[in-house]
Structure 1
Amino acid sequence: MKNTTFGKVDAAFAFLIRFRALVVAAVALVTLVMGYLASQIEVKTVFSDLLPRNHPYVEVNQRFKQTFGGSNMVSIMLETEQGDIFNPVVLGKVQKLTVDLQQVEGVDTYQIISLASKKIKEVRASTEGVESRPLMWPDLPQGETELAALKAAVLNNPLVYGPYVSTDLKATLVTVDFSDGNMDYTRAFNQLMKLVEEARGDGVEVRIVGEPVLYGWVNHYLHETLTIFFIAVAALVVLLCLITRTWHGTVLPLLAGLVSAIWALGAARLMGFHLDPLVVVVAFLITAQAISNSVQLIARFDDETRQGTPSAAAAARASARNLFKPSMLAIVADAGCVLVVALTPIPLLQKISFIGTVWVLTIAISALVLTPVMLSWFGAHQRYIHPVNINPLLMRILGLCSAIVTTRWRYAVLAMAGVVFVVSGLYAFNLKVGDANPGSPILWPDSSYNRDAAQINRQFQGSDRMFVVVAGKEPGALREPEVLSSMTRFQKYMEAQPEVGGSISLADILPQVNRVLREGNPMYQELGKSADENSELMYMFVSGSDPGDMDRYADADAKNGAVTLFFRDHQGETIRTAVARVRDYVEQHPVKNAEYLLAGGLVGVLAAVNEVILAGQIEAIALALLVLVVCCTITYRSTVAGVFFMIPVLLSNTITFSYMAWQGIGMNINTLPVVALGIGLGVDYTFYIVDGIRENLHRSHNVERAIVNALTGPGKGVLITAMTLITSVVLWHFSSLRLQADMGVLIALWLFISAFSALFIMPALVYVFRPEFIVGSKRHPIEQAEPVLVG
């Protein structure tokens, strides 16, 4: 059967090499077409792609975001260095910023709130009744008297003092919400930063945070990202040139990676997808896989020519034939592991999954077909392009591998691997789902964005918001004392969580109106005793206001309202604790006329993402492992093979997860695709070593000699690939985006563990346990190969 299969594969490559000019022309033509399509693909971030489909929190957010505030809110803090904010300079800057924000792309003009907006009001009693009027609109206060009056009004208004003016009176907040549509983050970011720079100065510091700003920073660093990408590719070329010392060993792997990238990006354009800047590292990893497969073929081609294969065409056929099975197994396993990510109902992950799957599958053409076809044009006699020869060093390393695996040291290797697996597996339980640190994990802790976030959260209740909807069962439900009292108790309950800096709702407003009616007597700062009384209080508050001013707290018929919670961070643990506390309160304190609905705002959306990621992480890893087991079982016709190849995958995953837990890298929407791809990556090198052992056993039954030959043969390709890719991937550590730097280190770690497993652990396991699907048995002996004609 083996010889029949080899014969078919050999015949197929003989046909391709015979018509190599047509094959190259066809690949070139498709590449040109795909290149044109790839040139039109957009590199951008679309926030709606981050939202899970059909999740109840997202549905609540989408339903109520226009009134209670969405997940795209931006907070801008103006802080004075001397005195307080109640001076013409600071207030003038607040007013100008409030007006200018209306011209920023994607801004919801009805959701601009500051001291200078019509939204912030005070309730006053006069001879004509109770009136509600803006604190500082449309004109700035003039003179010390008006400034003092404004200051007094702020200090007496808990809806302003704390939420929009800091308790030390040195800072004030401007908030603005953006639409969740297909907004241009780059334009909005540039316009916002221009306004911030204009407001800065005269002893006033301005800080800004929010998702549109965060993704604006990501797009801002796009040129740097592409620069690092090309530097990493250049490093690959230099390293390949240094190690292989041949033009074909340098150029052909790069050609394979380039063709795969062009075809995949062209296919993405056909599917109507865009490329997110944050997944460029994933793109580099898949391109590296194409380079890896090509390097293996070239290393085998060089071995064939050194062994006296008569022509380049024959050597190319032999290398393609002998490496076809492990190469295809690696491609199919990698594609399957990436494809399972599409089951996570988040559009961004699904798009990454589809693009990544196509990208991996293109390697079958760019590396498995194009590389041997191109090799057939090179002469059988190698000409080195530089005198530096590190091949003796590589052979010494591989000799060390062979010596360790074939002596008693192999037991020490397996024991060490077992200890590392257990320890890393236990520590990996510390891995957090969601963000693991305050601020944004996308940027470095000392970035201006994270410094701004820390300062805003220090001065105010919190820049991250979640609204919980109090949905009445009939119009007017929010006027019921029972519902309002429940909201008050709920707020106090939630504010007991340290990360919750404060909250606001309709239940905070009505007591203020009641107090004003009683000449400011604090004894009457309480809710009305009946629905009718609360209705009167609501009427008095909105009677002097503009339409929509009440929308932040309740809808027009007082059926639905919101309790808005302010968070000082959006770490995964913070969000999970808050959601659990909401659920506990609702379960323990049912309300007759209303129900609590989770959840909107940025924190509500992130809670949905984290819940999906938690389920998706387990599902993706389980299904990726299942794909791997099925592929190996079918390929080697043995269920033992499926379990055997899980060993390096489980080891690489436990070590990587424990590293993520140690470094505070959370499992989130950006890291999940790398984790899924890492499952396939963790075993690719092993395929080549195991297949090399099997191939040598077809020539001789000596297992030890077969292992040594496999390590010095396919092992050389593994070592070359690992050295070049790890070195180039580490360059991502210099990225201004911490996410890319972390992903670069994770990929380097995966590559190292995969190479170590392939060169030490798996050969040692083969030597000790002699699995039947590799070394055969008395019942199923390994067939001795017959020569395959290559003429």
Structure 2
Amino acid sequence: MGKKVSDGFETIASLADFDKYSGNRLERLLFNYRGWVIALCALLTAVFIVSASQLKLNASFLKTIPASHPFVLNYLKHAEELKGSANALRIAIALPEEHQGDIFSADYMELLRQINDEVYLVPGVDRAFMKSLWTPLTRWQGVTEHGFDGGTVVPDGFSGSAADLEVLRGNVELSGEIGQLVAPDFRSSIILVPLLDINPNTGEALDYKELSDALEQIRERYEAQGVDIHIIGFAKVMGDLISGLYAMLVFFAFAVFISTFILLRFTRCWRSTLVVQGCTLTGVVWLLGVLPMLGYELNPYSILVPFLVYAIGVSHGAQKMNGIMQDIGRGTHRLIAARYTFRRLFAAGMTALLADAVGFAVLTLVDIPVIQDLAIISSLGVALLVFTNLALLPILLSYTGVSARAAERRLHAEQNIQHNSASTPAFMRILDLFTKPRMAVFALVHALMLGGWALWTSQDLQVGDLDPGAPELRPDSRYNQDNAFIIGNYQASSDVFVIMVETETGQCVNYETLRKVEELEWRLRQLPAVDGTSSIAGVARRVNVGMNEGLLKWNELPPNQAMINAAANRSPRELFNDTCDLLSIYVFLKDHKADTLNAVVSVTGSFADQFNSDEVRFLMAAGNAGIESATNIVVKQANTQMLIGVYLAVSLLCLIAFRSWRATVCAILPLMLTSILAEALMVKLGMGLKVATLPVVALGVGIGVDYALYIISVMLFWLKRGSTLSEAYFHALNFTGRVVVFTGITLSLGVITWVLSPIKFQADMGLLLTFMFLCNMLVALVLVPALACFLLQPRHFPQGRENATSTPEKSSDLVSADTEQKASREQEVPV
């Protein structure tokens, strides 16, 4: 019975010659009871499949905002008094271009009434605060020969007659809603639809997909009757994103197909390819099944997590399969080969997955619930891979093995590859050059120059949206076309910044307070991106004009408290609350670009610092633009904190795994270069740093560390046994390096297809992830040996040569120096 020893692991062809009680307790527990393990996994998979069918794809407005930021706390404090200022829809009902006339026709008003009534009944609408020409909240007021008069814009008993339409026109002109609810050209009007966070019919979070579908049905039905309908608002963006993200399933399937095809070409073995893919997809199914049990939902931002879990699983699965195939090619029984691979790679794999999980968990530092959910879901998915890909995969391969032809082909290819020989593939010979001082210096200098350029370029990275409308969607999407229509026809855009003015009870319309409000409004109107403002101070000015025969010279705030009080009685209720201790200043913006929001926050903040007192406090901020400005501030602060946290966590784990600060530096510095380059790429592609893109860089670090861990682990093994750096790196390339290349290319091909997605932010993430997959792969292959040239040399491991010549106590634990030299030529590496 001949036995051929390779790196401390005997090549055993018969199970009778193998001690099944060898290995650690975990290995014995898993492999000695592998049938029970598979049965348990099958049962869990069935349970999780059923549970996954209950998983929902939804979004919550409150989960997309920073819960503890002062702006948000101020908004939440007064949320009941600011209904519709943050989460509201605007539905514009417009006459087609070819239609002659205006909205003051019986047909238009009847269609508007029907649409208004249907929208009113949609679940989730805050009906008490809904506004349109047909709602009682929309009123007119004016000065007549009898004094002040007013009423609802649509007169009582409206029948659509010519006389009623003429009265309606006059009421609209007196309502102050031109540019707000009615377009200045009188060819469209708006229905303002505030939304509840909870669906009153179900008691659950409002389902934006259902809401969006209901609105689309209304749109389709009434556009067929001769009007154009334009819908904008956060809920519609989320609904469109969710609808578009169902296409994600197609891209996910395409990624699976690509990785399967390349994996098959890499292994030439159907059975092992299917096992790797099956175990990886099992991990994804387990994740999707666990989420409903823990009360989680997927949202447009966390939808990439299943793919990331799949990507990480393929990476680790390919490493396990590669090790088993090499052992079987040498004649080892498939069960023994599986156990050997488990011994070799479990520690490195566990460390890599733990680094992924901890790196993702650091995202919980970001004070935005949707990112915190993404962090928890990602960490949970990686934790599940510890079992499905580190344990279940080798157990299944212990039954299926690999095809004999594939194993022989792999062994033949390895035997023909020798260090520094002509048979070595060209890419391995080129990469080996970076272990030499001259090329190492060349690589490090160029990396330093590239990093300097990227760091300089990344200074221009802006926080927030850089485009008008909804940058998450394509510029030519229906939503962005609707947004362009409303911005072009109304002064009150969908981007509203609300400033809250707190006063003592009953003092909200105090003359001195309104003077300050006027001053702030004037400063804000000087900003190019501000369309206009609205407050009770402006109402008081208009009332003063009305009480003085309409003469514009009286267009000023009257220094008479009685007159101001009279104006307040005729003001819209959204401008101040019932107890008169809160005023609202509405600032209508042209867009919500980062520069626009920064300018408004800067002007308002400076004014508040100057004029805030115990009696009057100017607070930011409500409205969707106010909430987004808070989000931008948190994202900017969190970006640095997040990266520092991720790198500290990954560095600590590498230090524990390698027990070498030198190896840790070799692993971390290339990752840092990739992160800086990713931010520079975002600048060049015109991407802003926001909720959708913030996690991508951190997630890329988590995935990229896998490459370095597998390569450095193998290098350390050989360096500790007296190999030169060139030899150690050659072994790493031949054993795990080829799988690193396979993984990087496969995953890049999988995500690059996302650029075809109808969802722009998914396309942006596809570009970023493709870059990070490829860049992490390249820097791991080039910079790790270049750094190791100066930090990891055999002289740094004096104990290694002793290990290489020590007398073996067990043939399965240590090998003699003579056998080790043979092993070095066989390319089988325990990690």
Q: TM-score, normalised by structure 1?
A: 0.91
The equivalences for 1:400-549 within 5 A come to 400-406=429-435, 408-461=438-491, 462-475=493-506, 477-539=507-569, 541=570
Cα deviation per residue 1:61-88 (whole Å; 9 max; x = unaligned)?
2333333333211112233324443334
How far does residue 226 in structure 1 lie from its aligned partner after superposition? 2.0
Distance 1:463 1:11, change over 3 A: closer
> Could you tell me which residue of structure 2 aligns to residue 274 of structure 1?
297
Gapped regions of structure 1 (runs ≥ 5)? 543-549
Cα deviation per residue 1:390-435 (whole Å; 9 max; x = unaligned)?
9999973542443442554444333322222111121112222222
Cα deviation per residue 1:670-719 (whole Å; 9 max; x = unaligned)?
22332222122222101111111122334442221121121122111111
Partners of 2:447 and 2:565 in 1: how far apart? 70
Alignment root-mean-square deviation, CA: 3.0
Distance 1:485 1:246, change over 3 A: same
The equivalences for 1:21-32 within 5 A come to 21-32=35-46
Residue 99 of structure 2 is aligned to residue 78 of structure 1: no
Distance 1:406 1:555, change over 3 A: closer
**Preserved contact between residue 317 and residue 372 of structure 1 (Cα < 8 Å):** yes
Partners of 2:335 and 2:681 in 1: how far apart? 46
**Preserved contact between residue 509 and residue 565 of structure 2 (Cα < 8 Å):** yes
> Could you tell me which residue of structure 2 aligns to residue 355 of structure 1?
377
Distance 1:390 1:278, change over 3 A: farther
Cα deviation per residue 1:636-676 (whole Å; 9 max; x = unaligned)?
22333333322121111011111112212222222233222
Partners of 2:171 and 2:413 in 1: how far apart? 77
Deviates more, 1:357-366 or 1:239-248: 239-248
Tell me the secondary structure at the aligned position of residue 578 of structure 2: coil
**Preserved contact between residue 325 and residue 407 of structure 2 (Cα < 8 Å):** no
Number of equivalent positions: 775
Distance 1:703 1:728, change over 3 A: same
**Preserved contact between residue 338 and residue 397 of structure 2 (Cα < 8 Å):** yes
User: Counterpart amino acid of 1:503?
Assistant: T
Partners of 1:641 and 1:750 in 2: how far apart? 22
Cα deviation per residue 1:436-477 (whole Å; 9 max; x = unaligned)?
2222122111111112112211222221112111111231x1
**Preserved contact between residue 663 and residue 791 of structure 2 (Cα < 8 Å):** no
Gapped regions of structure 2 (runs ≥ 5)? 1-6, 10-20, 199-204, 418-422, 815-831
> Could you tell me which residue of structure 2 aligns to residue 758 of structure 1?
780
Partners of 1:129 and 1:439 in 2: how far apart? 44
Cα deviation per residue 1:312-371 (whole Å; 9 max; x = unaligned)?
222222222222232122111111111111122322222222221111111211111112
How far does residue 90 in structure 1 lie from its aligned partner after superposition? 3.5
> Could you tell me which residue of structure 1 aligns to residue 126 of structure 2?
108
2:796 to 768, 771, 776: 776
> Could you tell me which residue of structure 2 aligns to residue 547 of structure 1?
none
Residue 669 of structure 2 is aligned to residue 647 of structure 1: yes
Partners of 1:9 and 1:651 in 2: how far apart? 39
Tell me the secondary structure at the aligned position of residue 566 of structure 1: strand
Residue 54 of structure 2 is aligned to residue 40 of structure 1: yes
Partners of 2:357 and 2:24 in 1: how far apart? 25
Distance 1:289 1:168, change over 3 A: same
Deviates more, 1:694-703 or 1:724-733: 694-703
The equivalences for 1:121-270 within 5 A come to 121-138=139-156, 140=158, 142=160, 147-148=165-166, 150-155=168-173, 159-181=176-198, 182-200=205-223, 204-270=227-293
**Preserved contact between residue 473 and residue 760 of structure 2 (Cα < 8 Å):** yes
Cα deviation per residue 1:541-592 (whole Å; 9 max; x = unaligned)?
26xxxxxxx3211112322110111122222332222112111112233467
User: Counterpart amino acid of 1:761?
Assistant: L
Distance 1:140 1:730, change over 3 A: farther
Residue 716 of structure 2 is aligned to residue 689 of structure 1: no
Deviates more, 1:464-473 or 1:28-37: 28-37
Distance 1:11 1:515, change over 3 A: closer
User: Counterpart amino acid of 1:348?
Assistant: V
> Could you tell me which residue of structure 2 aligns to residue 368 of structure 1?
390
User: Counterpart amino acid of 1:268?
Assistant: L
**Preserved contact between residue 438 and residue 571 of structure 1 (Cα < 8 Å):** yes
Partners of 1:101 and 1:9 in 2: how far apart? 67
> Could you tell me which residue of structure 2 aligns to residue 66 of structure 1?
80
How far does residue 202 in structure 1 lie from its aligned partner after superposition? 6.5
Deviates more, 1:335-344 or 1:247-256: 247-256
> Could you tell me which residue of structure 2 aligns to residue 17 of structure 1?
31
Partners of 1:771 and 1:191 in 2: how far apart? 63
Distance 1:363 1:46, change over 3 A: same
Partners of 2:146 and 2:528 in 1: how far apart? 44
2:635 to 587, 591, 613: 613
Q: TM-score, normalised by structure 2?
A: 0.87
Partners of 1:783 and 1:571 in 2: how far apart? 62
> Could you tell me which residue of structure 2 aligns to residue 546 of structure 1?
none
**Preserved contact between residue 61 and residue 70 of structure 1 (Cα < 8 Å):** no
How far does residue 749 in structure 1 lie from its aligned partner after superposition? 1.1
Tell me the secondary structure at the aligned position of residue 468 of structure 1: strand
How far does residue 754 in structure 1 lie from its aligned partner after superposition? 1.3
> Could you tell me which residue of structure 2 aligns to residue 399 of structure 1?
428
Deviates more, 1:172-181 or 1:380-389: 380-389
2:306 to 283, 287, 290: 283
**Preserved contact between residue 242 and residue 299 of structure 2 (Cα < 8 Å):** no
Deviates more, 1:237-246 or 1:463-472: 237-246
Distance 1:45 1:488, change over 3 A: same
**Preserved contact between residue 218 and residue 278 of structure 1 (Cα < 8 Å):** no
Cα deviation per residue 1:90-143 (whole Å; 9 max; x = unaligned)?
343333332332111111112222233322322223454312212224455855
2:645 to 589, 600, 623: 623
2:319 to 289, 296, 303: 296
Distance 1:395 1:369, change over 3 A: farther
How far does residue 387 in structure 1 lie from its aligned partner after superposition? 11
Tell me the secondary structure at the aligned position of residue 91 of structure 2: strand
Partners of 2:196 and 2:164 in 1: how far apart? 36
User: Counterpart amino acid of 1:466?
Assistant: F
Tell me the secondary structure at the aligned position of residue 141 of structure 2: strand
User: Counterpart amino acid of 1:435?
Assistant: D
User: Counterpart amino acid of 1:776?
Assistant: H
Tell me the secondary structure at the aligned position of residue 301 of structure 2: helix
Distance 1:141 1:780, change over 3 A: same
How far does residue 750 in structure 1 lie from its aligned partner after superposition? 1.0
**Preserved contact between residue 324 and residue 337 of structure 2 (Cα < 8 Å):** yes
Distance 1:8 1:659, change over 3 A: farther
User: Counterpart amino acid of 1:118?
Assistant: P
Partners of 2:383 and 2:435 in 1: how far apart? 36
Residue 593 of structure 2 is aligned to residue 571 of structure 1: yes
Partners of 1:193 and 1:138 in 2: how far apart? 31
Partners of 2:153 and 2:404 in 1: how far apart? 83
